[in-house]
């Protein structure tokens, strides 16, 4: 180990400290939803006493106290602002978080272990919004998300469709010629299969693209790389070896933004979920209503509910304030077993 190695480790530790501080501030912002007052003197005393008693071997208790007084003050400053929170599945740097920032850069993004936690957070009011992927041009629909949408009473308030450009990332100063394996989510590995085969790189599955980036950074794996986003490179102090390594040029993912409250009369696209009787011609009857009203359908997806029964997602161009849309939905409600209006919203397509 030389000075360069030591400094590299310091850089990694600094990045971890900054990430943890940001994580703490996110928790403070979420805690504000459950507090009647920002000031809590007893809680602050409790934190400072605990920190001083656990300062460790090298750091003095007084230094720790000064440091955490500043941290607490910054937490209170953030709590005084009105922040909206959006939950996403994965680690920081996941493509869902990239999409969330494109949709609204002022939202505070909070990572969730799985999709169900995103839905639970929105339903409970912990999150103002949740963002989830629903379909990819290469991987198709995300079945788990569709099931959760059917079984959770939330509204669609926005959508974003953007190209997923995969990057090959490695720890700083890694020798590309020595890299033998690549970690990433199975879907990302599949989308870069030709690149991996061409370069004789062994794919290794990981639960999340950004989680894989964090792992190789923290463990300083010099003989491995990761497929992830540019944002992951910035967050985890990784170098971009190569950009746009996906096999097909068109690799778009569509994300929906969900909320407990629907947006009234805002947008030019609508979504509904409905189910029909299990007999011939019922789905055709629904589609015929929209055809006669000259309403352009942009997506229809069938999702199994119970043996022999299906729910259908339907997206179409229009506003819930348009008379022809109102009439069409009313007619469809009369010929379906159940119908749920998911919301009217704007969809952004990023080129």
Q: What is the largest CA-CA distance in the chain?
A: 77
- Are the beta carbons of 241 and 230 closer than 8 angstroms? no
DSSP assignments along 168-207, one per residue: EEE-TT--GGG--EEEE-HHHHHHTHHHHHHTT-EEEE-S
Give the closest residue to 97 by CA, choosing from 206, 209, 14.
Answer: 209
Q: Which of 119, 127, 162, 255 is catalytic?
A: 255
Neighbours of 279 (CB within 10 A): 7
Q: Which of 88, 119, 162, 253 is catalytic?
A: 253
Give the closest residue to 235 by CA, choosing from 7, 20, 10, 1.
Answer: 20
Give the closest residue to 137 by CA, choosing from 115, 164, 177, 109.
Answer: 164
Q: Helix, strand, coil: what percent of the chain each, to 5?
A: 40, 25, 30
Residue 253 annotated as catalytic: yes
CA distance 86 to 143: 21
- Are the beta carbons of 121 and 154 closer than 8 angstroms? no
Residue 119 annotated as catalytic: no
The DSSP bridge partners found for residue 316 are 270, 297
- Are the beta carbons of 107 and 84 closer than 8 angstroms? yes
Neighbours of 11 (CB within 10 A): 12
The residues annotated as belonging to the active site are 253, 255
């Amino acid at each position: 180990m030389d000075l360069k190695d030591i400094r590299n480790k310091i850089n990694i530790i600094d990045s971890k400290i900054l990430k943890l501080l940001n994580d703490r501030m996110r928790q403070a912002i979420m805690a504000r939803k459950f507090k009647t007052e920002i000031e809590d003197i007893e809680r602050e005393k409790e934190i400072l006493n605990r920190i001083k008693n656990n300062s460790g071997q090298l750091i003095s208790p007084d230094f720790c106290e000064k440091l955490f007084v500043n941290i607490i003050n910054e937490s209170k400053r953030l709590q005084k602002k009105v922040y909206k929170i959006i939950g996403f599945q994965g680690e920081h740097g996941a493509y869902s978080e990239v999409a969330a920032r494109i949709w609204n850069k002022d939202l505070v993004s909070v990572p969730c272990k799985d999709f169900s936690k995103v839905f639970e957070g929105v339903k409970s009011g912990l999150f103002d919004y949740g963002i989830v992927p629903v379909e990819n041009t290469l991987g198709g629909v995300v079945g788990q998300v569709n099931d959760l949408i059917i079984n959770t009473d939330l509204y669609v308030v926005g959508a974003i469709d953007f190209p997923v450009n995969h990057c090959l990332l490695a720890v700083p100063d890694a020798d590309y010629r020595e890299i033998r394996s690549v970690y990433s989510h199975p879907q990302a590995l599949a989308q870069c299969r030709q690149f991996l085969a061409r370069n004789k790189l062994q794919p290794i599955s990981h639960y999340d693209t950004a989680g894989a980036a964090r792992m190789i950074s923290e463990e300083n794996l010099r003989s491995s790389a990761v497929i992830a986003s540019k944002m992951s490179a910035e967050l985890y102090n990784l170098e971009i070896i190569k950009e746009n390594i996906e096999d097909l040029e068109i690799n778009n993912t569509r994300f929906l933004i969900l909320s407990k409250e629907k947006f009234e009369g805002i947008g030019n696209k609508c979504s509904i979920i409905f189910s029909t009787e299990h007999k011939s011609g019922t789905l055709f009857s629904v589609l015929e209503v929209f055809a006669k009203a000259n309403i352009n359908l942009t997506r229809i997806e069938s999702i199994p509910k119970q043996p022999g029964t299906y729910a259908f997602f339907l997206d179409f161009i229009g506003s819930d304030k348009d008379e022809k849309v109102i009439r069409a939905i009313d007619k469809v409600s009369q010929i379906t077993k159940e119908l749920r209006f998911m919301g009217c919203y704007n969809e952004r397509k990023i080129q």
